């Protein structure tokens, strides 16, 4: 076996610029010679830094697959199994949909960094089915069932699981019956920095999907007569209330400036981890978050933000009241975020992969000696 492993990175769709995509970018920085295989890739809406390294599956050539990738779920199994990583010693996958199910050999090391077992299969099946037209629900439910079985059967093929949060760690144990190592995702503390005056608005920054519960932030700030700026989207918003400013997609610099100027970030969703509160902390501003899931790993109640006890309008109204009666120190918020820095993440991932590879080499040598 070679002394240095040949490493391949495998990812779920890279068609957005969210937390999972930033993890793949950090993988690529950590292992600069590793190719990046992806189910789908868009240089326009996905991470541009990977444009020269991504090798997308055949599904990427299907018209509309990048923009409507959720509609192509029935083809995900065939697409991920078509990715050929047979020339590599170590496979490092970024998994929240199907990436961990890439085909590997027993002599390869497969390290799966799991953002969550796929929500539609394991955590939110009923909620996802409710968004499908009634006539199509039986066929979609059948698809979910088949994919769930396939996903579970492939779990033993992963050599090592890494969980991005304690919530995900519990889900891996529950659904995959596997232990995992906890390594928190990377926060770009060099890009997200303090600066400028604090404004008079609260901020939401999230994708326009139902579970983000942007409606709670809109309603709570409306009750209190507070200004709210929304980055990303609010697809459930039929009419724009006067206290809300919809900004849509913004540049990285604009997002940083909005975080710097916000009274606080509002984070009403139940997340597996949730990087946005820490990015806001890195800018010297606190977060008001629903006190469950990943927020319990990132928000220290009363110190780096406020935790709302329930995922309700009333609870967030109360949390905002408590926030406005408290005080937060920018330098302390910044120090908290630095513990989750990109550099720390890269060191941890590099060390984990190296140790996994060394264990594999020792095991092969021992078998050869017998």
Same domain, 329 and 360: no
> In this predicted model, what pLDDT tens digit does every residue of 271-287 receive, in sequence order?
989 899 999 999 999 99
- CATH number of the domain to which 347 belongs: 3.40.50
Confidence at residue 66, expressed as pLDDT on a 0 to 100 scale: 85
What letters, b where the CB count within 10 A reaches 16 and e where it falls short, cover 251-287?
A: eeeebbbbbbbbbbbbbbbbbbbbbbbbbbbbbbbbb
Query: pLDDT above 70 covers what percent of the chain?
Result: 97
The answer to the question of residue 196 being in a domain is: no
Same domain, 167 and 251: no
The answer to the question of residue 192 being in a domain is: no
Number of domains in the chain: 2
* CA 361/CA 316 separation, integer angstroms: 52
Same domain, 210 and 224: yes
Same domain, 150 and 218: no
3-state helix, strand, coil in the chain (%, to 5): 45, 15, 40
Same domain, 15 and 105: yes
Confidence at residue 236, expressed as pLDDT on a 0 to 100 scale: 58
The answer to the question of residue 295 being in a domain is: yes
Q: Which domain holds residue 39?
A: 7-186+341-369
Same domain, 170 and 212: no
List the strands of the sheet with 244-248, edge to edge.
244-248, 227-231, 201-205, 265-267, 287-290, 305-308
Return all residues near 94 (Cβ < 8 A) that are at least 6 apart.
Answer: 9, 10, 11, 12, 20, 23, 24, 27, 113, 115
- CATH number of the domain to which 271 belongs: 3.40.50.2000
The CB density around residue 140, as the number of other CB atoms within 10 Å, is: 18
Same domain, 153 and 13: yes
The answer to the question of residue 195 being in a domain is: no
Work out the average pLDDT over 310-328.
97
The answer to the question of residue 25 being in a domain is: yes
Local confidence band at 248 (pLDDT 50, 70, 90 cut-offs): confident
Work out the average pLDDT over 337-343.
95
Same domain, 28 and 113: yes
For the chain, give the mean pLDDT: 93
The answer to the question of residue 78 being in a domain is: yes
> In this predicted model, what pLDDT tens digit does every residue of 154-206 receive, in sequence order?
999 999 999 999 999 999 999 999 999 999 999 999 999 999 999 999 999 98
Lookup: tokens for 233: 């989207």
Same domain, 41 and 118: yes
Q: What predicted TM-score, i.e. pTM, was given to this entire model?
A: 0.87
Same domain, 63 and 125: yes
The answer to the question of residue 193 being in a domain is: no
The answer to the question of residue 331 being in a domain is: yes
Same domain, 248 and 289: yes
Confidence at residue 1, expressed as pLDDT on a 0 to 100 scale: 52
Work out the average pLDDT over 78-86.
98
CA dihedral for 28, 30, 31, 37, sign (positive or negative): negative
Judge whether residue 326 has pLDDT over 80: yes
Burial of 147 (0-12, 13-18, 19+ CB in 10 A): buried
Lookup: tokens for 176: 């995959």
Phi-psi region of 293 (alpha: psi -120 to 50; beta: other; left: phi over 0): left
Same domain, 101 and 238: no
Q: What angle do CA 326, 317, 304 make, to 5 degrees?
A: 35
Confidence at residue 151, expressed as pLDDT on a 0 to 100 scale: 97
């Amino acid at each position: 076996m070679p002394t240095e492993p040949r490493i391949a990175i495998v990812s779920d769709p890279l068609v957005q610029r969210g937390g999972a995509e930033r993890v793949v970018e950090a993988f690529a920085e950590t292992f600069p010679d590793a190719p990046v295989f992806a189910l789908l890739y868009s240089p326009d809406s996905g991470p541009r830094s990977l444009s020269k390294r991504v090798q997308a599956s055949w599904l990427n050539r299907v018209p509309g697959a990048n923009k409507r990738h959720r509609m192509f779920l029935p083809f995900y199994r065939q697409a991920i199994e078509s990715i050929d990583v047979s020339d590599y010693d170590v496979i490092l996958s970024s998994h929240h949909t199907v990436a961990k199910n890439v085909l590997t050999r027993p002599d390869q090391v497969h390290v799966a960094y799991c953002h969550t077992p796929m929500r539609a299969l394991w955590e939110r099946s009923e909620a996802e089915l409710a968004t499908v037209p009634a006539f199509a629900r039986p066929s979609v439910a059948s698809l979910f069932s088949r994919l769930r079985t396939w996903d579970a059967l492939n779990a033993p093929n992963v050599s090592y699981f890494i969980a991005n949060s304690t919530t995900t760690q519990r889900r891996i144990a529950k659904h995959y019956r596997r232990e995992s190592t906890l390594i928190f995702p990377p926060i770009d503390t060099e890009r997200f920095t303090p600066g400028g005056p604090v404004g008079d608005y609260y901020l939401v920054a999230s994708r326009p999907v139902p579970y983000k519960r942007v409606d709670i932030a809109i309603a709570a700030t409306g009750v209190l007569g507070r200004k709210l700026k929304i980055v990303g989207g609010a697809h459930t918003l039929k009419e724009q209330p006067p206290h809300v400013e919809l900004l849509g997609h913004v540049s990285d610099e604009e997002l940083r400036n909005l975080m710097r100027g916000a009274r606080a970030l509002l984070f009403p969703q139940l997340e597996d981890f949730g990087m946005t509160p820490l990015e806001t902390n890195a800018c010297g501003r606190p977060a008001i978050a629903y006190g469950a899931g990943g927020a319990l790993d990132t928000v220290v109640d009363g110190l780096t933000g406020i935790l709302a006890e329930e995922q309700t309008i009333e609870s967030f109204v109360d949390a905002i009241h408590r926030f406005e009666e408290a005080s937060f120190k920018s330098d302390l918020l910044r120090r908290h975020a630095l513990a989750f820095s990109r550099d720390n993440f890269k060191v941890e991932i590099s060390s984990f992969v190296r140790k996994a590879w060394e264990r594999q080499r020792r095991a092969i040598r021992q078998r050869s000696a017998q």
